[in-house]
Amino acid sequence: MNRIGITEKLANLPIGELRYYPQVGSTNDLAVEWASQGAPDLSLVVADEQTSGRGRGGRKWYTPPGAALAFSLILRPRQGETAAIFPRLSALGALSVCKSLIRCYGLEAGIKWPNDVVINRKKVAGMLAESHWMGDQLVALILGIGVNVKPESIPSGEKLDFPATCVETALGQKVNRGVFLYHILKAFLDWRPTLHNNEFIQSWEEHLAFRGEKVQILSEKSDTIEGEISGLTPLGNLTLITHKGTSRTFQNGEVHLRLVDREGI
């Protein structure tokens, strides 16, 4: 993967400017900085390797050289895009990766709510959405997407929050990262106008992984809750049915979803 190759692959997409780096700390950090300097809507920071890639809540994201997709999109809120869409942005990223995996490679990908992408019950991609404010005005949204493409991208020797896989392992053949990036961005652009609509929530729900399975929701604010995933509310919150038969909903935030029956993982 190099700058010229990516520029060629993305030539037909109406994205903003592109910055490519063989190695960075975190593409999100560079994107936040660039956004503050006036990067236009849909500008893109792509890196081959991240030395301090970030997950949510201060966790780490592993991106070794030559093996993954790591990029951050800078979004300037368009007319009608209020701060209310912010919680949906990472779901849009997950939906774009998920749809591309299904459409381009025929893989049975799903979204582990709220926004991890899984194949064969293992995590293949993660999202990190951040906002950039000036006073009380939202001036930019940054969506960082990390996808494991080659086997070397799967962290080894460290305890993971969730088992991990990569696209090539699931597919059994090589994948061109530039082409895959094109399809993810294309899906993102196609679905961005639906962010406020039911159509978006419906598609997110259709791709929800582990429906009907028993899971635990862990949060810093409340006790662990166990139940079966039943779907999403019209706002994209997760609904669980507990063993008492009551329905509980959870908002995207600092909550974690764990499988109770981890057989097959």
Q: Which spans of this chain sit near ligand BT5 (rule: CB under 6 A)?
A: 26-28, 50, 53-57, 59-62, 70-72, 116, 123, 126-128, 144-146, 148, 153, 155, 160-161, 164
Kindly state the smallest distance separating residue 247's Cβ from ligand BT5, in Å: 25
Sign, Cα dihedral of 131, 46, 123, 191? positive
Kindly state the smallest distance separating residue 15's Cβ from ligand BT5, in Å: 16
Look up residue 135 and give its amino acid.
Answer: G
Nearest to ligand BT5 of 56, 76 (CB atom)? 56
Look up residue 136 and give its amino acid.
Answer: D
* Position of minimal CB gap to ligand BT5: 126
Sign, Cα dihedral of 26, 29, 33, 34? positive
**Distance from C-alpha of 26 to C-alpha of 61, rounded to nearest angstrom:** 9
Quick one: CA torsion of 101, 104, 105, 109, rounded to 10 degrees?
20
Other C-beta atoms closer than 10 Å to the C-beta of 110 total 22
Kindly state the smallest distance separating residue 11's Cβ from ligand BT5, in Å: 22
Supply the DSSP string of 185-202, one letter for each residue: HHHHHHHGGGTTSHHHHH
Residue 40 preceded by cis peptide, ω within 30: no
Residue 194 near residue 236, CB atoms below 8 Å:
no
Kindly state the smallest distance separating residue 181's Cβ from ligand BT5, in Å: 12
Kindly state the smallest distance separating residue 163's Cβ from ligand BT5, in Å: 8
Q: How far is CA 200 from the centre of its chain?
A: 15
Kindly state the smallest distance separating residue 10's Cβ from ligand BT5, in Å: 16
Nearest to ligand BT5 of 29, 81 (CB atom)? 29
Nearest to ligand BT5 of 110, 146 (CB atom)? 146
Kindly state the smallest distance separating residue 145's Cβ from ligand BT5, in Å: 6
C-alpha separations of 191 from 195, 225, 237 in Å: 7, 32, 19
Tell which residue, 127, 40, 139, has the closest CA to residue 87.
127
Nearest to ligand BT5 of 66, 193 (CB atom)? 66
Nearest to ligand BT5 of 178, 241 (CB atom)? 178
